[in-house]
Amino acid sequence: MKTLKKYENKKVLVLGLGKSGYAVAKLMQKLGADVTVNDRSDLEGNAHAEELRKSGIRVIGGGHPLTLINQDVAVLIKNPGIPYSNPLVRKAIENQIPVITEVEIAYELSEAPFIGITGSNGKTTTTMLIGEMMKGSPQTPIVAGNIGTALTSVVSKATDKNVIVAELSSFQLLGTVTFHPHVAVALNIFDHHLDYHKTVENYARAKARMTMNQTAGDFLVYNADSERVTHYLAENTKAETIPFSTTRKMANGAYLAEGAIWFRDTRIMPITEMGLPGEHNLQNALAAVAAARVSGASVAAIVHVLKTFTGVRHRLQNVGVVQGRTIYNDSKATNILATSKALASFPNKQIVLLAGGLDRGNTFDALVPDLKKAAVRAVLLFGETTEKLKDACEKAGIPVIKPMKNVEAAVPEAFALSKPGDVILLSPACASWDQYKSFEQRGDIFIDEVNKFR
């Protein structure tokens, strides 16, 4: 870790005591800063809060007192999910106090270069693929970021013999100033998180911060099939552009041809030997191949990973074959687009779909064409969106539509309605919070119930 004196004896406010807030608060204290952590939740009994207090860090819960912002505060480091409309954030900006996320701190301290991955969908899978492909290369990978491990919790261990493979959300990138990945990967830009960013343009410009500090010695791996990625990132970068496409040959990038994955003029492997299903995973694979190759990974390592990698937990995760049924846990599919991609991943299979969850006010009419196109044998519904999803399934002509109490009740019914050779797919198209603490808990319960039939 680099030596950094700029925060010594400076007052630092950390807003939000999540994984990143906890990690960055500890790190800032090591750097000699006078740290205060603030969270709107009541922190009574919170183990992390107690640990920080015992170490001498001031921790304030139960609200956001505006008195925390004054002329003595040098920087506000906020949890990425906290909006800029938050009163403390607004006051900091009004007082010209820098507002950043932990990504900026991690970059300032890191001796290791970064491979940064962003996009509306596919970030986690692509990040994991690159991390696996880089094993055995000259720079040992450390995977962190939006994937679940705070960057500031790993940066102290990173040396110039490492490379940090970082999944980065638009929320994280919006709080960066000097962040400069050696390799940036831009997968796609859909109409996501508009409640936070307000407009698609704001959202896209947040993503584009990934490449704003890159220079001619860096690489931008980008989806040439995405007009938004091309316009907002590839057309406005100083880095060397490395395109990938599933529809056309890319002489300087990754592409599909003759039933195989290619990078430049090197044939990597046949598509049929990939461990991950779905066309969207072909895009993820192409992005990973391009990023890994320009970062020094061998073709042999890349081929091994593409053949053996079967998915990230809860993201179209292959749970195995149980009583002849192939089981997929796609609990991370918390929106219609993700479920659409999941349904398209099994063109020659009968599907029993488990879906439903938190009602965010939208209809599911956009899912109707995908339900019609896929061979859906039955749909089992649960949660607040049961009636709305039932309406969409009726419009799609699904032969069997059954409301269920929850995932636990839906799994045995899925086995009863399916046949050997079918796919049982949990892909809810909704967030989990009406019945479960997280999509991870929902997916774990699904797997536990499936395991009862092994």
Residue 412, domain extent:
317-451
116 touches 168 (CB < 8 A): yes
**Which residues pair with residue 60 across a beta bridge?**
38
Give CA–CA dist 120/116, Å, rounded: 14
Which one of 308, 337, 360 terminates a domain? 308
**Is residue 3 in a domain?**
no
pLDDT number for residue 3:
85
CATH number at residue 17: 3.40.50.720
CATH number at residue 221: 3.40.1190.10
Give CA–CA dist 39/22, Å, rounded: 11
**Is residue 6 in a domain?**
no
Which one of 100, 120, 154 terminates a domain? 100
> Tokens 């991609």 correspond to what residue?
341
Same-domain pairing of 262 and 207: yes
Map the chain to HEC letters: CCCCCCCCCCEEEEECCCHHHHHHHHHHHHCCCEEEEECCCCCCCCHHHHHHHHCCCEEECCCCCHHHCCCCEEEEEECCCCCCCCHHHHHHHHCCCCEECHHHHHHHHCCCCEEEEECCCCHHHHHHHHHHHCCCCCCEEEEEECCCECHHHCHHHCCCCEEEEEECCHHHHHCCCCCCCCEEEECCCCCCCHHHHCCHHHHHHHHHCCCCCCCCCCEEEEECCCHHHHHHCHHHCCCEEEEEECCCCCCCCEEEECCEEEECCEEEEEHHHCCCCCHHHHHHHHHHHHHHHHCCCCHHHHHHHHHHCCCECCECEEEEEECCEEEEECCCCCCHHHHHHHHCCCCCCCEEEEECCCCCCCCCHHHHHHHHHCCEEEEEECCCCHHHHHHHHHHHCCCEEEECCCHHHHHHHHHHHCCCCCEEEECCCCCCCCCCCCHHHHHHHHHHHHHCCC
pLDDT number for residue 432:
96
pTM, two decimal places: 0.84
Give CA–CA dist 246/150, Å, rounded: 32
Contacts of 110 (CB under 8 A, 6+ apart): 1, 2, 155, 158, 164
Same-domain pairing of 303 and 332: no
Same-domain pairing of 245 and 374: no
Same-domain pairing of 125 and 247: yes
274 touches 281 (CB < 8 A): yes
**Is residue 4 in a domain?**
no
pLDDT number for residue 210:
97
Same-domain pairing of 341 and 376: yes
Same-domain pairing of 132 and 274: yes
Same-domain pairing of 284 and 334: no
CATH number at residue 433: 3.90.190.20
**Is residue 2 in a domain?**
no
Task: Name the domain count of the chain.
Answer: 3
**Is residue 409 in a domain?**
yes
Same-domain pairing of 192 and 120: yes
**Is residue 39 in a domain?**
yes
**Is residue 242 in a domain?**
yes
Same-domain pairing of 257 and 346: no
**Is residue 236 in a domain?**
yes
Same-domain pairing of 262 and 194: yes
pLDDT number for residue 190:
87
pLDDT number for residue 1:
86
Same-domain pairing of 120 and 89: no
Same-domain pairing of 260 and 290: yes
pLDDT number for residue 162:
98
> Could you read off the pLDDT tens digit of each residue along the chain, which spans 454 residues?
888 899 999 999 999 999 999 999 999 999 999 999 999 999 999 999 999 999 999 999 999 999 999 999 999 999 998 999 999 999 999 999 999 999 999 999 999 999 999 999 889 999 999 999 999 999 999 999 998 899 999 999 999 999 999 999 999 999 999 999 999 999 999 887 788 888 999 999 999 999 999 999 999 999 999 999 999 999 999 999 999 999 999 999 999 999 999 999 999 999 999 988 888 899 999 999 999 999 999 999 999 999 999 888 898 999 999 999 999 999 999 999 899 999 999 988 999 999 999 998 999 999 999 999 999 999 999 999 999 999 999 999 999 999 999 999 999 999 999 999 999 999 999 999 999 999 999 999 999 999 999 9
Which one of 308, 342, 365 terminates a domain? 308
Give CA–CA dist 99/163, Å, rounded: 26
